[in-house]
Amino acid sequence: MLLSAQSNRYAHQLLAARANAQQIPPLSANAALSLADGYDIAKNLLDIRIAQGEVPTGRKIGFTNRAVWSKYGATEPIDKPIWGSMFNTTVRYTDDNHGIQSLDGAVQPRIEPEIVFKLAKAPAPDATVDSIAECIEWMAHGFEIVVCPFPNWQFNAVDAIAAFGLHGSLIIGEPKVLSAATRRNLAAVLANASVSLSYGAGGAVTLRAAGFGSDVLDSPVHALWHLHRLLQNQPQFKPLAAGEIITTGTLTDAYPVEAGQTWTTAFSGVALPGLTISFV
């Protein structure tokens, strides 16, 4: 277990690396750290960012896509979800599902197409997968831009938790308010949905990947439920609350992006518009 001073030191080290767009060695390379240690560092970071004037707006869930678990982990595969905080400084909405995103200061940025929820009310402590869907006000498609201060994207789960959950920014498309009937079937609908991810540069467009809702812990709704249950064992953090934005994890692998590229998505199996984002 980390001492408070050690946790605070790691938090400031990560903040400095982000502010200066620098890479640093993984924290786990020089110390035996547990997942609980990672969340202790994350809590320090949350408190510091709030003190600096940032406002928490929700959470990002990471590593929910089982299809990519074996690709990540410096010493062992990352085979369970993690989460991190999002802020008013990192979340924004598109105009007409088109956006422009600067990559200035983004360290090793990658793009992830995700399903995003806004909560209308807090889930009950004993919420089931079905009942947690009743707490969702709207869903949307979003691009999370993930960033990594560790060289070559080599890290362990504890490093990812500590390093802001790898969250850089979230760009959200047009929200779709859910009817009662849609909420009842939402987990199954999203499990059967698929997305295509393409990018263009220099006039050529290339299909990069396809992803499936069922890869995200069987459904993005299941990912939300998993986060709810995880937070019940983390009393240092507030439980899910009305008004929070939750992005549920990537539907594909995360792909490197660079200025001059334009990335687009298209869905099937669910009534969500695709997104287009250009990087500068």
Q: What is the pLDDT of residue 211?
A: 96
3-state SS string for the chain: CCCHHHHHHHHHHHHHHHHCCCCCCCHHHCCCCCHHHHHHHHHHHHHHHHHCCCCEEEEEEECCEHHHHHHCCCCCCCCCCEEEEEECCCEEECECCEEEECCCCCCCCEEEEEEEEEECCCCCCCCCHHHHHCCEEEEEEEEEEECCCCHHHCCCHHHHHHCHHHEEEEEECCCEECCHHHHHHHHHHHHCCEEEEEEEECCEEEEEEEEEHHHECCCHHHHHHHHHHHHCCCCCCCCCCCCCEEEEEECCCCEECCCCCEEEEEEECCCCCCCEEEEC
Q: What is the pLDDT of residue 239?
A: 98
CATH number, residue 236? 3.90.850.10
Q: What is the pLDDT of residue 256?
A: 98
Number of domains in the chain: 1
Q: What is the pLDDT of residue 36?
A: 97
Profile the chain (280 residues) by mean pLDDT over runs of 10 residues. Answer: 88 97 95 95 98 98 96 92 98 95 97 98 95 97 98 97 98 96 96 97 88 97 98 97 98 97 97 96
Q: What is the pLDDT of residue 203?
A: 78
Give the domain range for residue 246.
4-279
